[in-house]
Chain A
Amino acid sequence: MNKRPSKPDGGSLLRAIRMFFGYYPVLAPIAVVCILFAATVSSIPSLFIQKVIALIERWVESGDWASARAELTPYLILLGSLYLLSIAAMTAQTQLMAVMTQGFLDKLRRDLFNGMQNLPIRYFDTHKFGDIMSHYTNDIDTLRMLVSQTLPSFIQSGAVVLVVLGIMLYFSVWMTLVLLVGVAAMIFVAKKVGGGSARSYVQVQKTIAENEGYVQESMNGQKVIKVFCHEAQGIREFDEINERLYRHSFRANAYASTLGPIIANIGNVLYVTLALVGGVFLLTGVKNVSLSGAAFSISILIPFLNMTKQFTGNVNTLSQQINSIVMASAGAKRVFELMDQQPETDDGYVTLVNCRVDEDGTITETEEHTGHWAWRHPHGDGTLTYTLLRGDVRMVDVDFAYEEGKQVLYDVSVYAEPGQKVAFVGATGAGKTTITNLINRFYDIADGKIRYDGINVNKIRKGDLRRSLGLVLQDVNLFTGTVLDNIRYGKLDATDEECREAARLAGADDFISRLPQGYDTVLENNGANLSQGQRQLISIARAAVADPPVMILDEATSSIDTRTEAIVQRGMDKLMEGRTVFVIAHRLSTVMDADVIMVLDHGRIIERGSHDRLIAEKGTYYRLYTGAFELE
C-alpha cells in the first residue's frame, strides 16, 4: 500500500533529474551553460566598478573628463558587450526552460497515465482514489517546481556565490572573512527558524485535513442539521477546530514570514558592518591580504559592498531551495512508485478474429467484418485452429483469494451454455462480484479452471477476452462527451445509426430524443444532469452496441422508482436475449426467469437451481424471497 507522505530520498531526486536530461540531451545542457554564463556575467561588474572608481580617483583632482572618458570608454564597451551577451543567454535560457519544463511535464503525465492504463484492477482496488489522483496533481507539481525553479536557481545562485567569493578573495581576504562570519550567522538563524517552521507546518497540514473533514461532513449533512436544529452545536464544534487551525497556522506562518525579513536584513546589517570595517581598515591602514595583491582602497571597498548584497542574496536563495528540494524528492519518489508498478501481465496468445463460416462448417479468417467471430488458436506444433465464438463459459472448482490467506471463493463451479442466464444471489461480501471479476480476468484464479468456448481463459489475450464479454456495472460511469460518444465507447467504429439502434434496444432512445440536444447532448461530471435510471440506460446501450456473446450485468442497488425500474428492466431483458448472461442480482424480481440461480454464502454456492425449484426447497433463497432476510 502506498502511504503518504513518503520520505524523501536522494535516489528518486537524481532519477528525476537524469530523466529530465534524458528527455532533453541537447537542450538541457545548453540551458545549463546559458545559466552559468549569465550568472558569471552578473557577478563580475564589481571588477569594473573597481576599475571605474580607481579611474575617478585618479582624474577627480584634475577634472579632466575628456581624458578620463578615453580611458573609461573601452571598459564600458567591454562591460556593455558582456551584458548584451548575458541578456541573450538569459533570454535563451528562460525560453528554453519554459519549453522544456512543460514538455517534461507533458511527457511525465503521459508516461504516468499510459503506465496506469496497463495496471491490473487490483492496483485500483487497493489504492485510495485520492492518493492516485495526487500523483497527477501534487506530486507532479513538486517536480514542476524542481525543474522550472529549484534547479535553475540552484545552479545560478551556486555559480554566483562561487564567482563572487573568488572576486572577494581577489580583493581582500580579511573583508571576505568578516563577511563569511556574518553569512554563517545568517545560515544558523535560517536553520533554527526554518526547522521550527517545518515542524509547525506538519501540524498545520494535519489540522487542515481535520478541518476539511469536518466541513465536508457537515456540508454534506447540512439538511439533516437543519431538520434537527443542530446548527448551534455544529458551530461550537467547528469553532473548536477552527481555533486550533488558527493557532497552528499562525505559528507556522510566523516562523516562515519572519525568516525572510530577518535574512534580508542580516544582509543589510552585514552591508553596513562591512562598510564600517572597511572604513576602519582604510583609515588605520591595515595591511591587505588578497589574491590580487592590491592594497586596500576605496576602489575596492565600494564594489565589495555591492558584492556583499549579491552574496548574501544568493546564499539566501540557495537556502530557500533546500525546502523545495526535500519536497521534490518526496514527490519524485511517489511519482516513481506509480511508474514502477508491475503492469498487468498478459501471456495470452489466442486472439479474436473475424471469420467466415462455410456450409461444411470450416472456419476461414477474414479481414473484413462479417458478424462472425472466431478464436484463432496457434499451437505449439505450429498449427492453427479456429474455434467459433459462441459464449460457452465454464468455471470448474475455482478457489480465489484477494489477499493471501483470506480465501473468498471456495470450489465454485458454474456452467453457462450459450444463451443461458445465470443469476448470482447472496449477501454483500458473499462473492458475487468476485466471480465476475474472474471471468473477465480482472483477477486471476488461485486454483481451478475457467474455460471460454473450451479454451482456458489464461491462453486468451486479455483485450480480446474482455471484448467478447459485455459489462454493465452497478455504479454507472459515463465519460465527458456527447451521449453518442458514450454509447460508441462500446464499439469505437460504430456508425451513428448503430448507436441509435443500440439505444432503441436498451429503451434509452425515448429519453435521449427528449434531451435538449438529443444524442449530441454533452454529458459532464459522470452524467450528473441525468437521473440514475437514465444513466443506467445509457450504460446498457453502450454494452449493446458492442454486441458481445456474453454479458455480465451487475444490477444497480440504489433505489429508482418503480416505473423507471421497469424501463431499465426491459432494457436489460432485451440486452440478454440470445446471449450468455451472468447477472448479479440485488432484487429478486429480476432473477426469477434465470435458467440457473446460484445462492452464494461466504464464498460458497449453497443452493443452485431454477426459481421454482429453489422455492420448493424452502431454503435460503425461499427466505430471501419471502422477505425474511435483508439481501444487502
Chain B
Amino acid sequence: MKNFRKLLPSVREFKRPAIITIILIVLEVFIEVVIPFLTADMVNAIKDGEPLQGVVKTGLFLVLLAVLSLSCGAGAGYTGSKASSGFARNLRHDVYCRVQEFSFENIDRFSTASLVTRMTTDIGNVRMAFMMIIRIAIRAPLMFIFAIVMAYIMGGALATTFVVLVPVLVAGLIAITRRAMPAFRAVFRKYDKLNESIEENVRAMRVVKGFAREDYEKEKFGTASKNICRDFTYAERLVALNSPLMQMCLYFNMIFVLLVGSKLIISNRGTTIDVGQLSAMLTYGFQILMSLMMISMIYVMLTISAESIKRLAEVLSEEPTLTNPADPVFEVADGSIDFVDVAFKYSKDAQNYALFDVDLHIPSGATVGILGGTGSSKTTLVQLIPRLYDVSEGSVKVGGRDVREYDLEALRNQVAVVLQKNELFSGTIRDNLRWGDPNATDEEMEAACKLAQADEFIRSFPDGYDTKIEQGGSNVSGGQKQRLCIARALLKKPKILILDDSTSAVDTHTDALIRAGFRSYIPETTKIIIAQRVASVQDADMILVMDNGHIVASGKHEELMASCEIYRETYLQQNKGGERDE
C-alpha cells in the first residue's frame, strides 16, 4: 500500500477520468440495486390486478433506469480504460525519465533485464490493478452494502438469511485464500525456475547432445515437472472449493427465502411482503454473494500485483547519486587531468577500496596508456574523469578544476569515453554517428570515420553511411563495431578522449593506423588508452601499470621494461611468437 502511494503521483491528468469512473460505478451500482426493488413493486401491482396504465408507467421507468445503468457501466468502462491506460503511460514515462537521471552507480544496482521487466510486465500488472481498483474494488463492496441495505428495507425478517450466509462465505473465502495464496506464490516461483531450466536446456542443447545427456535431462525435467504438478494441484484444489462454497450459499438462500418467505406472506396475508419481494430477495442474494466473491478475487489479484508495485516503487524512489552542482562551470579550459590523493569504493559499505593512493598529473594533449589484469581497476580509474562516479576521497581535476564543479553535460561533452561494453543503436550508421554531434556534416562524419579507420568498410556496404544497424549492432563484426564507436566519440571533438579496451577486436595493423591518426590529427586532445596488448600502448607518452586498485608503475616503455616486472612479463608473453619467428 505504501508502495502504491509512491506510484500515484503518476496519475496526473488522468485523475479526472478516474474520478468520473468511480462516480459512474457508484451510480451504476445504485441503479442496479434499485431495479429489483421497483420490479418487486411492479410485480405486486400486476398480481393485484392494478390498472395497466400504472404498471406500464413503472415499467417504462424501469426500462429507463436499466438503460441509464447501461450507459453508466459502459461509460465507466470507457473512462476507466482511459484512466488506467493513461496512468500506465505516465508511469512508463516517469520510470524511463528516472532511469535517465541515474548515475552509473544507480545503473549498477539494477540489471538490464529487471529494468525491462519493470517497464513492461510490471507496468502492465499495475495498469490492470489500477483498473480493478477504480472499477471492481469500488463496485463490489458498494454492491454488497447497497444490496444488504435494500434487502433489509424490503425483506425485513427475510434478510436474516444474510446474517448466516455472509459470515459463512467470508470465513470460507478467507480460509481458502489464506492457504491458497502462499501455496500459489511458492509454486509460481518454482514454475519460473522450471521455465528457466527449459531455457537453460535449449541454450545448452549442443552441450546436452555433445555429452549424449538427453535421457538425463528428460529425467531431471520430469522430476521437476511432476513436483510442480503436485504443488499446483494442491493450490488449485483449494481454490476449486470456491465455487461449491458459493453455490452452497446461493442454494441455502434460495431454500430459506422460499420457506420463510412463503410463511411470512401466507401468515400475514401478503401485507408485510408479497411475492414480488420474494423474487427480489433472490436477486439480492445473488448480488450480495457475488460481490463477496469479487472482493476475494480482487484481493488475490492485488496481492499478485503487489510485487510489481513494489518493484516500480523501488525505481521511482531510487535517488540519483550524482547531481549537477548549484552554480556549475560550463567551460573546460584544457585537457589536463589531475588525480589528487584519490581513493574510491563502489559502495559506502564496501570493505575494500577499488582504487586507492592515486596521484597523477596528465598534461593536456598527452597520450597515456593503461595496462593491467582483470580487476585491477583500470576502468574504474578512467570513469572518474567524466564524473561517471564520484571519488570517495581526494579529488579529480580536469582543466585545473574539480570535476564536481562542472555542469555534467558540459564536462561529458569534453571528456569522450568509448566504453568497454559499447553499444550501437538501431538506426543507420549516420544516426549512430550523430550521437557524437547532432549537427555533424557529412564531411565531418567522414573525417571522423577515416580517423577511426571505419570509412573504408562503411563504404564497402551497399548503403554506405545509410546502412541500417540492427538492434545491438548484430550485423557488424566486433572490430567494425569498435571502430564505429570510436568515430562516434571523435565527433564530439572532445578535449579528452578515453578508449577503454576499445580496439581489442581490431587487428594490430588497423590499431596502429588509428593511433597514428590520433597523433597527427588530434594532437591537442588528451588521449587515454586502456589495452590488453602492450603494442597498443607501447608508444604512449606515459604508461600506467595497474594492479589491485593502484598504480604500481608509470613511465615510458623503455623505463618500464627496465623497472617493472609485470610489464616486462606481459610484453614478453605477448611477443614470444614474434621472436620465435625471427
Contact = CB atoms under 8 A, between A and B. Distances in A.
Range for the number of chain A residues in contact with chain B: 35 or more
B49 A283 contact: yes
B247 A477 contact: no
A220 B216 contact: no
Interface in B447-494: 471-472, 477-479, 488, 492
B199 interface: yes
Interface string B417-450: 1010111011000000001101000000000000
B259 A72 contact: yes
B266 A63 contact: yes
Given A246-B89, A628-B509, A230 B77 contact: no
A425 B435 CA distance: 37
Given A90-B244, A257-B131, A280-B55, A238 B282 contact: no
Interface in B350-380: 373-374
Nearest to A265: B70
Contacts of B205: 121, 124
A574 B574 CA distance: 21
Interface in B201-227: 201-218, 221-222, 225-226
A616 B79 CA distance: 80
Interface string A129-160: 10011001100000000001000000000000
Given A118-B214, A124-B205, A231-B100, A53 B66 contact: no
A227 interface: yes
A229 B74 contact: no
Contacts of A563: 373-374
A264 B290 CA distance: 14
A463 B39 CA distance: 77
Interface in A280-318: 280, 282-284, 298, 301-302, 305-306, 309
A561 B225 contact: no
Interface string A206-240: 00100111011111111111111111011100110
Contacts of B82: 250, 254
A98 B74 CA distance: 34
Contacts of A76: 255, 258-259
Q: Is the interface of A mostly helix, strand, loop or mixed?
A: helix
B237 interface: yes
Contact of B507 (A121, A526, A629): A629
A105 B63 CA distance: 47
A364 interface: no
A562 B47 contact: no
A59 interface: yes
B202 A132 contact: yes
Contacts of B120: 208, 211-212, 215
Given A63-B267, A228-B436, A230-B435, A566 B573 contact: yes
B60 A227 contact: no
Interface stretch (B91-99, B148-156, B326-334, B551-559): B91-99
B299 interface: no
Interface stretch (A379-387, A394-402, A464-472, A599-607): A464-472
Range for the number of chain B residues in contact with chain A: 35 or more
Question: Of B84, B86, B279, which is in contact with the most chain A CB atoms at under 10 Å from its CB?
Answer: B279
A180 interface: no
Interface in B181-197: 193, 195-197
Interface string A516-534: 0000000001100001010
Interface string A448-475: 0000000000000011101101010100
Contacts of A216: 112, 116, 471
B77 A276 contact: no
A434 interface: no
Contacts of A564: 373-374
Interface in B7-33: 28, 32
A631 B509 CA distance: 12
Contact of B477 (A65, A118, A428): A428
A589 interface: yes
B217 A117 contact: yes
Question: Of B266, B279, B570, which is in contact with the most chain A CB atoms at under 10 Å from its CB?
Answer: B266
Contacts of A38: 247
A258 interface: yes
Contact of A117 (B115, B218, B573): B218
B4 interface: no
Interface stretch (B157-165, B268-276, B306-314): B268-276
A271 B66 contact: yes
Contacts of B62: 272, 275-276
A273 B423 contact: no
Contacts of A229: 408-409, 412-413
B228 to A, nearest CB: 7
A206 B56 CA distance: 52
A276 B206 CA distance: 73
Contact of A268 (B70, B195, B202, B212): B70
A63 B69 contact: no
A355 to B, nearest CB: 19
Contacts of B145: none
B243 interface: yes
A264 B73 contact: yes
A41 to B, nearest CB: 9
B227 to A, nearest CB: 9
A90 B195 CA distance: 33
B436 A592 contact: no
B263 A101 contact: no
B233 A102 contact: yes
B268 A477 contact: no
A79 B201 CA distance: 57
B112 A223 contact: no
30 contacts: A56-B265, A56-B266, A64-B266, A79-B254, A86-B251, A102-B229, A121-B209, A129-B199, A219-B115, A224-B419, A227-B417, A227-B419, A238-B93, A254-B82, A257-B78, A261-B70, A262-B74, A269-B63, A273-B59, A283-B55, A298-B46, A305-B39, A309-B283, A467-B211, A526-B200, A559-B504, A564-B373, A589-B577, A630-B479, A632-B477
Given A265-B74, A464-B212, 18 more contacts: A105-B229, A124-B205, A215-B120, A223-B107, A223-B419, A226-B107, A235-B96, A243-B89, A261-B72, A265-B69, A269-B63, A272-B59, A302-B275, A428-B477, A463-B214, A489-B213, A559-B501, A627-B507
Shortest Cβ-Cβ A-B pairs, 4 listed: A261-B73, A276-B59, A265-B70, A627-B508
